[in-house]
Amino acid sequence: MKIPSYKTYSLKRRLLQSYPFLKFVKSSKSNESDLVFVEDLSTAEIAGEAVNDSSESADDTDTDTDVRMGATTSRITTQMKCRPLYHAALALKNSIEDKCDTTPPLKWPPSSKELTLQAAHNIVPDELLNFLARTTGITSDFPRHDSRVNVDDSSSKKIVSVCQDIINLGMKGKRLMPKHSALAMSVRHLTGSAQLIGLLNGLGHCTSNSAVLEHDTALAELQLKRGEEYIPPNIKPHMHTTLVWDNNDFGEETLSGKGTTHNTNGIIIQHGNQPAAEEPEQHSLARSRKRSLQPPTPNIELYTGPEPYGEGVLVELTHYVQMQEDARTLDDAYFLCKV
């Protein structure tokens, strides 16, 4: 069947897109088609095979020719085995790119709700997960169209972890994965070792130490934007509340030995099984390279009283009993009410 509007160069371009290993050699005669062969075969071998096929000489039984033909046959057999693997790899690469294009990236900074196993499942394409499940022998089921094979929870976590490593490697680290961000942050809080984070990052298991510092800084900036009077949504009003404050010195290991974390944390304690209120949607920030926060400018009131003296200051408790009397009365009244 001839189609006048069909152009041969379009077919050649599409073949090269689908099969990059093909080579086209234009014939010197205008009435002959192009010679198409695999890139691994040299031009001399292709030409020799073409001559041998078109020749009917008696030299076909020669030993050297048989050896050459046997080697060529073995190579072609190997290529026939590798060809399905190449097509499978190409299909998985396309599925990863399509999934990354259709799935929105994680907000910055990612919160704990976005670094869950379910969030990782949403990023991993079904084809990649099914392929690894069959390759590792975890399952022998054949998945239905647009579905995943049934895998137990323990194996599913491991497969999803490997899938995220593959996606991160394929995207050259440009796509933030839940595993890589959560693992780096966990190692930082548990060990504080920048070298350990660097080792894991070098193996492709988590983000770099600088990326973890950027994540921590962005979380702190987001918290500061909520204001000084921000109350967590699960804290209920008009309930007895206990506040506990203490300094929190991480003392983590940094590459320079400087810039360690020293802060003061507060804990709010309320008794009773009250249902937690739904947390408002987290606002995202524009990603920056900031890895530390500047301390706020101290607002110290100017002292205009009499000149203080280091000696003769009354420090005995008996001198301040009268000042504490009202507070003690309120404490006693509270204790009686609790009884």
Task: Please check whether residues 205 and 239 belong to one and the same domain.
Answer: yes
Give the Cβ contact number of residue 205 at 10 Å.
18
User: Percentage of the chain with pLDDT > 90?
Assistant: 24
Task: Say which residues have a Cβ less than 8 Å from residue 189's Cβ, sequence separation at least 6.
Answer: 250
Task: Please check whether residues 160 and 210 belong to one and the same domain.
Answer: no
Q: Answer with the one of 108, 136, 167 that is the final residue of a domain.
A: 167
More confident residue, 30 or 52: 30
**Segment 15-24 long-range contacts (CB within 8 Å, at least 24 positions apart):** 21/86
* 3-state helix, strand and coil shares in percent for the chain, rounded to the nearest 5: 50, 10, 45
Task: Please check whether residues 92 and 8 belong to one and the same domain.
Answer: no
Instruction: Establish if 238 belongs to a structural domain.
Output: yes
Instruction: Establish if 305 belongs to a structural domain.
Output: no
Domain total of the chain: 3
Reported confidence tier of residue 61, pLDDT bands at 50, 70, 90 = very low
Comparing 54-58, 223-227, 278-282, 325-329, the range with the smallest average pLDDT is: 54-58
Instruction: Establish if 44 belongs to a structural domain.
Output: yes
Mean per-residue pLDDT for 254-262?
Answer: 70
More confident residue, 188 or 54: 188
Q: What is the pLDDT of residue 157?
A: 92
Instruction: Establish if 325 belongs to a structural domain.
Output: no
What is the extent of the structural domain holding 16?
1-52
| Residues 183/206, Cβ–Cβ less than 8 Å | yes
12-28 pLDDT per residue, tens: 777 777 777 777 777 76
User: Percentage of the chain with pLDDT > 70?
Assistant: 71
Instruction: Establish if 308 belongs to a structural domain.
Output: no
Task: Please check whether residues 276 and 182 belong to one and the same domain.
Answer: yes
More confident residue, 103 or 283: 103
Q: What is the pLDDT of residue 93?
A: 93
Residue 211 DSSP label: H
If you average pLDDT over every residue of the chain, what do you get? 78
Task: Please check whether residues 151 and 191 belong to one and the same domain.
Answer: no
Reported confidence tier of residue 158, pLDDT bands at 50, 70, 90 = very high
Q: What is the pLDDT of residue 206?
A: 94
Reported confidence tier of residue 262, pLDDT bands at 50, 70, 90 = confident
Residue 175 pLDDT more than 80?
yes
Task: Please check whether residues 190 and 283 belong to one and the same domain.
Answer: yes
Comparing 60-64, 107-111, 210-214, 325-329, the range with the smallest average pLDDT is: 60-64
Mean per-residue pLDDT for 312-320?
Answer: 60
Task: Please check whether residues 188 and 268 belong to one and the same domain.
Answer: yes
Q: What is the pLDDT of residue 58?
A: 45
Residue 60 pLDDT more than 50?
no
Reported confidence tier of residue 51, pLDDT bands at 50, 70, 90 = low
Give the residue carrying structure tokens 């799935």.
103
Instruction: Establish if 100 belongs to a structural domain.
Output: yes
Beta strand 35-38 pairing with 22-25? antiparallel
Instruction: Establish if 146 belongs to a structural domain.
Output: yes
Q: Answer with the one of 167, 188, 223 that is the final residue of a domain.
A: 167
Q: Answer with the one of 128, 148, 167 that is the final residue of a domain.
A: 167
Task: Please check whether residues 188 and 286 belong to one and the same domain.
Answer: yes
Task: Please check whether residues 183 and 272 belong to one and the same domain.
Answer: yes
Task: Please check whether residues 207 and 286 belong to one and the same domain.
Answer: yes
Q: Is 204 left (phi over 0), alpha (psi -120 to 50) or beta?
A: left
Reported confidence tier of residue 139, pLDDT bands at 50, 70, 90 = confident
Instruction: Establish if 223 belongs to a structural domain.
Output: yes
